Structure 1
Amino acid sequence: MNSSLKLFTVAALAAGVTACGGSSDSGETGTVSFGITDAPATEFSNVTVAFTEIQLKPADGDWITFPLDGFETVNMLDLQGGVTEPLITDEEVLAGNYTQLRLIVDTDNSFVKLKSTGDTEYSLAVPSGEQSGLKLQGEFIVAADTSTDFTIDFDAQRAIVNPAGEALADYMLRPALRLVNNLDVGSIAGTVNASTVIATECADVATYSGMVYVYGEPGATPDDLGSENEPLVAVPVSDEDDPGTYTYKAAFLTEGTYTVSYSCSADDNEIDEDLTFVGPQDVTVEADTETTASFE
């Protein structure tokens, strides 16, 4: 596998996804490509998940398996802000409806590193990861005589948990995946004002400058990771690219209206907490467009 990273430009993707999906009984085929991206995580410096297979389940057929190679060398945290890594490219499959997707994981070659402990590697296990893998429920369509491109959004911030008591590994990986059609996605990006928001909300901006939370509907009441109303995605705010200017980007969002809000409260993804949120606002996302939403 070519491990070089690529930035998806949606305008360059194949058209025609609205064509009839067909049926696997008809024998018609289409081609599919799947890439993977990551919503950033705040405490980790490396998240390596060694994917070995991607499996697709037709609505009226048997599982289709494609072997993968090279993911034991890919740090998922490099795949942020619209950057992806290809899983499979232009593979021919039967056209029609598909109901499930699975990513099979080699746990022996999967690990995480923490920002606080340097190069120390911590083991990462997936319950049944090498048998049934990470599962993504939900239908998608492969159109006949058409190339269809999808992206799997792997959310390390929500997926990786620190298990209590005895466990198979130092950290556990639970399913936290979104599947999107690349023709339907845009992004939200913006700044968080350093002098009025960051300085007021963050206890120690040198170590943590907060996250922007994105909810899948307008008018949502912001809540934390692990709550009943947890966000679709939460992305860190950082001034790494331009010191003193705090920015964020939430990519691969399907067309629609979202609620975005900012918090600099520490958020444990396993506990429902009372966080302080700032400036909730509704934002409309259009395909192949980056919409600006800032917190002043």
Structure 2
Amino acid sequence: MKRSIQIFAVSALAAGIAACGGSSDGGPATGSVSVDVTDAPTMEFTEVTIAFTGIRLQHKSGEWEEFTFDEAKVWNLLDLQGGASEPLITDEEVLAGNYKELRLLVDTENSYVVQKDQPDVELSLAVPSGEQSGLKLKGDFIVAADTTTDFTVDFDVSKAIVNPQGKSLADYLLRPSLRLVNNLEVGSISGEVDYGTINQEAACDYEGAVYVYQGTDVTPTDINVNDEESGPLMAVPVSDDDNDGIHTYTAAFLTEGNYTISYTCQLDDNEADDSATMEFQGTQNVSVVAGENTEAQPIPLVP
């Protein structure tokens, strides 16, 4: 992952470790860093393929650490859901300490999306400055000295992809809607949704999604890229893998803390205010503990 989202999450323990240590020759302290990428899913597309060509990290001193890939790392981000991820860099040695920015470099010519209603058409995806300055995440994060610090970039497709509506040569634009989390500080939420019962009582547009909000007792609202301060941290689609009417979901890479979750089976336009027309069910508070999965109560809630 409401709102005041903490984009970069790092522990006080990591900060203490980063302050210690040094290289064996008396030079600046170094540590190793690993960065993976995952996806907070979307409902509109069946494929969101991004070609990553490199990554840059800016130390608080202003110095940049840059890693350019010999070959682009190309993934359909929709395959990286429910806790799945892929590595961008692994155990790369960098200066230890505080960093203030991360950038992902993207090859726009080999990045595209496929819509559910156009399964055979690859639609172009523009990334403003994706190949030059990259997709930017600003904030503070720490690479610990003399050890490896593992991070994951949560690529929020449902908020990141917008329709330029004739203002661009591309079919869609990719905005930098990203979270960076320390892998030691995240847990997950999973549960079941009784879609069969819900569908008998509500006018469902599709199988639905569980919306996750940071904090307790949050009033559910829609995804609206024009009003990100009040929207969900992520919206996780549910799926019926066993075809028994019970749909399951997993919201992964959530920093330790308290969350509100709620389910809706109404479609959500990420560029419009749909809150007045969307019905949410099964709203409940859930606590996430680092390194653990929390099972939420079934939706709809059983009295």
Q: TM-score, normalised by structure 2?
A: 0.87
Change (3 A) 1:137 1:291: same
Counterpart code for 1:168: L
1:143-201 Cα distance to aligned partner (Å, 9 max, x none): 11111100000011111111112313000000111100000111001011133324323
- 1:120 is displaced (CA, Å) by 0.9
Partner-residue secondary structure (3-state), 1:269: coil
Counting matched residue pairs gives: 278
Quote the residue 1:20 is aligned against: 17
Counterparts of 1:110-125 in structure 2, within 5 Å, are: 110-125=111-126
Partner-residue secondary structure (3-state), 2:230: coil
Quote the residue 1:103 is aligned against: 104
Counterparts of 1:124-135 in structure 2, within 5 Å, are: 124-135=125-136
Quote the residue 1:210 is aligned against: 208
Quote the residue 1:147 is aligned against: 148
Partner-residue secondary structure (3-state), 1:66: strand
Counterpart code for 1:286: V
- 1:128 is displaced (CA, Å) by 1.2
Q: In structure 2, what is the Cα distance between the partners aligned to 1:90 and 1:39?
A: 24
Counterpart code for 1:265: Q
Counterparts of 1:251-270 in structure 2, within 5 Å, are: 251-270=252-271
Q: In structure 2, what is the Cα distance between the partners aligned to 1:72 and 1:110?
A: 11
Q: In structure 1, what is the Cα distance between the partners aligned to 2:272 and 2:131?
A: 28
Quote the residue 2:293 is aligned against: 290
Q: Where do 5+ consecutive residues of structure 1 fail to align?
A: 1-15
Q: In structure 1, what is the Cα distance between the partners aligned to 2:190 and 2:55?
A: 30
Partner-residue secondary structure (3-state), 2:117: helix
Change (3 A) 1:70 1:241: farther
1:159 maps onto 2:160 in alignment: yes
Q: In structure 1, what is the Cα distance between the partners aligned to 2:91 and 2:126?
A: 30
Partner-residue secondary structure (3-state), 1:74: strand
Q: TM-score, normalised by structure 1?
A: 0.89
- 1:62 is displaced (CA, Å) by 1.6
Determine what percentage of the aligned residue pairs are the same residue: 57
Q: In structure 1, what is the Cα distance between the partners aligned to 2:18 and 2:243?
A: 45
Q: In structure 2, what is the Cα distance between the partners aligned to 1:139 and 1:242?
A: 44
Quote the residue 2:30 is aligned against: 29
Counterpart code for 1:94: L
Change (3 A) 1:63 1:198: farther
Counterpart code for 1:22: A
Kindly indicate whether the alpha-carbon contact (under 8 Å) linking 1:17 and 1:147 is maintained by their aligned counterparts in 2: no
1:280 maps onto 2:283 in alignment: yes
Q: In structure 2, what is the Cα distance between the partners aligned to 1:122 and 1:156?
A: 15
- 1:246 is displaced (CA, Å) by 0.8
Quote the residue 1:10 is aligned against: none
